[in-house]
Structure 1
């Protein structure tokens, strides 16, 4: 019987992943240990998962605690999906991370990957997230960490150099992008093979095939006329100019590069919306959060045992049974991509089995793709160094080198913006001065 700990279970992600786990026959007898600091929501999710276990007559067990130290001993895998220091996409400090840069002309769409908002999200998240790994070293040193928290590359990098815990970062942008491309060229997704590699949210679809047929010629023919790509102008433009389709949406990718959000004319050209003010209330629910149990009053229909497209349960099954599972994961680059730095986080094809997660060899990226990745990797490296060395100036340098910020704001104004953001974070960055 496996023991799987989910930290951040009260977000609704915990219930979704719990159902994924219970839906797999090899994992149906697992102990699912839910952890969240929000006791009421944690109990709602625990009840939801318990109803699934009871209603489907499963041998599994669900337990819950607000103290992860109670749950970690004996864990085989630990899933992390949290927001540290405030809600993920509303309220403070997220509002400051979006609206302070906006005053200086930096139009961020999401601010959770890079950009000055993404950097400060990492800074306020990093210390506690690294504590997760340190607690695992004490209580379950052989467990595998599967992280869903953003910023993905920075956190994977931090876990890998700041702890001894084996870890992999998981995202669904590869699945979502390749499914979209298959649909666009009119090929059943099950008949498509692909090679995707790069960094999280900026990985490149290097090959897209049906059997021996290269599907890129078809893709290039239809992107300007197919309705599915009408709202994806940034990624279409990137493919036209750099040769390859990139993962993550137009909305996300526009803020990772200097080409798309510098002024209103560019926003209009690429069908991008100006950044709206951040709400101080939670009025946003993602589709995958529906029927998650977070708002469940205990009277809803029995949760169906229907798997999502998330990789976590399949990796856990491979880890526990030895049956291999191939997926794209975020790991340190130990020679997988030969023209990216050896000590950076890459998103590459991986194989999971009983011995852990094994990145595969990709080789060189097209040089233009590697160069674009490097503009983001430089930011990530400095942000990670800032946390590990408690180096405030390295955090500033990360902000100054962010591609969109550097294309929009003068260096003196970047310094002023940085100081304003640092002050807005308040005690969330107090660990920089501890000890």
Structure 2
């Protein structure tokens, strides 16, 4: 029996994620030997990722324990997998840009559009059926593999893959981990000495308990928040994409904290999309959402620039960026720690997106929630969160309604349900306006929506 483990990465054309994962595995000597199978339906993007991977392995002379192979057919690569990771973006950045533009044309402004509001619903409609097909293949060909998903919209994808494919995916997102780190820094505390309790849905997870060496750390956090928010904001702090550690960078999240005693991950850029009725016309503290507040074109251009940089390195027109092998802070960061905890049965705690199954009272058992879990040699074991407050539970229950309607619409190709999901989401409440926007999005993304033909 070989000691080499097999990891299949589906959606490997996402070169940034692939680079981060490879860098972490190459530098993780304690995790032993790996065969990395890169899969993507886009042969050109896959070729870029493969060439970059080869250069990285060579740069660290890791060929004796890291091998890489590629395919556009996931079914040939899944048998024998120990780990399966999905990072799929159906339609890529162009489809994301189309969602953004069409929503703006219909008077809807949003800063992300990868989870909720009309842009998020559009992404859901084209992504969920693809993810269910992937999950069916995983369940069929790699039933014993640990299955991790990074694809958005996370909540809908995990719910649908569990319900319709009989798979057991675990959704991972670095948002919760990063927000805990930011809260520690905000309070002037070492991250390693802090702990949290939380529950929610991806991009709307309520941290209701925050401690430093076992003691309540909220008073320290609250004191700095009140001090900073008592001063007028710097315009550059409002709606900046990159976190800067200031309270005025996330004024709405702090408003929620004041009102409910819990801080929402993952900060204003994501959280405000779950409360669309508060941002009529996209107005956000004197700026416009998705335009000069959390600019969508800016983040898309950043992603494209990073990809082109990876491509240049793969094609030898730029030197390999050695910083990739240094401190890991990317989406894959938590994955490597989970693999390590599983491998050595360290039973460390991580934030995961899994079916509720009674972990949080008052929410549906099938709902995919973001909650703590312990990584053991037998897999991830969710932790019960029985004390999330009733008001916060009711907010989550309301948000899950649109997810349920949109997921059913995606699987059945039901245009009427898609419209109802738009209305339930709250960004567009007029039925005629919701119908017009839904039709515009379905038409623009029809190449990725065969069930709506």
Common fold by TM > 0.5: yes
Shift of 1:115: 0.7
Partner of 2:141: 139
Please state if 1:215 is matched with 2:196.
no
- TM normalised by structure 1 equals 0.90
Q: How does 1:2-401 map to 2 (within 5 A)?
A: 2-12=5-15, 13-58=17-62, 59-84=65-90, 86-88=91-93, 91=94, 93-226=95-228, 228-263=246-281, 266-268=283-285, 273=289, 275=291, 283-285=301-303, 289=306, 293-296=310-313, 297-298=315-316, 299-302=319-322, 304=325, 306-308=327-329, 310-401=333-424
| Structure 1 position 281, deviation (Å) | 12
When structure 1 is superposed on structure 2, of 21-30 and 209-218 the one drifting more is 21-30
- SS at structure 2 position matched to 1:340: coil
2: CA distance between counterparts of 1:153 and 1:191? 30
Question: What is the CA–CA distance in structure 1 between the aligned matches of 2:348 and 2:309, rounded to whole Å?
Answer: 26
Separation (CA, whole Å) in 2 of partners of 1:416 and 1:386:
16
Q: Tell me the distance in 2 between the aligned counterparts of 1:393 and 1:10.
A: 34
Asked if structure 2 preserves the Cα contact closer than 8 Å seen for 1:144 and 1:165, the reply is: no
Residues 6-31 of structure 1 show CA distances to partners (whole Å, capped at 9, x for unaligned) of 11112121121122223223434111
Tell me the CA shift for residue 120 of structure 1.
1.1
Q: Is the contact made by 2:33 and 2:66 (CA closer than 8 Å) also made in structure 1? A: yes
Shift of 1:238: 1.4
Gaps of 5+ in 2: 229-244
Shift in Å at residue 272 of structure 1? Answer: 5.3
Q: CA deviation at 1:279?
A: 5.6
2:110 and 2:289 in contact (8 A); partners too: no
Greater alpha carbon shift after TM alignment, 216-225 vs 152-161: 216-225
TM-score when scaled to structure 2? 0.86
| Offset from partner CA, 1:273-307 (integer Å, 9 cap, x none) | 453797699632389x5898443134325552643
Between stretches 10-19 and 181-190, larger displacement belongs to 10-19
Distance verdict in 2 for CA 1:155–1:224, change over 3 Å: same
Distance 2:40 2:327 in 1: 24
Larger proportion of helix: 2
How far off is 1:97 after superposition? Answer: 1.8
In structure 1, distance between residues paired with 2:329 and 2:284: 33
- Given that 2:198 and 2:385 are in contact with CA atoms closer than 8 Å, whether structure 1 keeps it comes out as no
Deviations 1:211-231 (A, max 9, x none): 232111121111144461121
Paired residues, number: 423
- Which stretch has the larger CA shift, 239-248 or 49-58? 49-58
Q: Deviations over 1:1-52 (max 9, x none)?
A: 1100111112121121122223223434111111123333323322332333
Q: Give the 3-state SS of the residue equivalent to 1:254 in structure 2.
A: helix
Runs of 5+ unmatched residues, structure 1: none
CA contact 1:23–1:307 (8 Å) conserved in 2: no
Supply the distance in 1 between the matched residues of 2:246 and 2:298 (Cα, whole angstroms): 33
Q: Secondary structure at the match of 2:200?
A: strand
Preserved contact between residue 375 and residue 403 of structure 1 (Cα < 8 Å): no
Change (3 A) 1:422 1:375: same
1:174–1:196: 8 Å Cα contact kept in structure 2? no
CA–CA distance in structure 1, aligned partners of residues 198 and 308 of structure 2: 31
